Amino acid sequence: MDEPVTQPTLEEQVYQALGEASMCWSLTPPGVFDSEKAQGIATRLLAAFEADKAQAVATAQTQPTAKPKKADTPFIARNGG
C-alpha cells in the first residue's frame, strides 16, 4: 500500500528554497556550500515569519469584526433587501 503524499512543511520548503537559491548563478561558484550558515539563515527567516504571524494574529484578535451593511452587500442590494 502506498503512503499518502504529504505537503512539505514551511520549514522544509524554506530549507529547500535556500539550497535551490544557492545554485542560481550563471557559473556555479567554486568552494564548499556552508550548510551550517544556510541553516542559520533559514532559522532567522522562520523566526521572523513566526514573529510576524504572531503579530498579525494578535492584531486580528484585538480588532472588532465589521459586519457589512445591507447597502454594502451587492446581492442584497440587487434583490431589494
In a domain, 5, yes or no: no
Confidence of residue 11 (pLDDT cuts 50, 70, 90): very high
Q: What pLDDT is attached to residue 17?
A: 92
Q: Is the pLDDT of residue 80 over 60?
A: no
In a domain, 19, yes or no: yes
Q: Report the distance separating Cα 36 and Cα 11, nearest Å.
A: 15
Per DSSP, helices labelled H in 22-62 are 35-62
| Count: domains in the chain | 1
pLDDT digits (tens, 9 = 90+) for 14-68: 999 998 988 888 887 788 888 899 999 999 999 999 999 999 888 888 877 666 6
Confidence of residue 74 (pLDDT cuts 50, 70, 90): low
In a domain, 37, yes or no: yes
In a domain, 3, yes or no: no
Q: Report the distance separating Cα 50 and Cα 7, nearest Å.
A: 19
Range of the domain at 52: 10-78
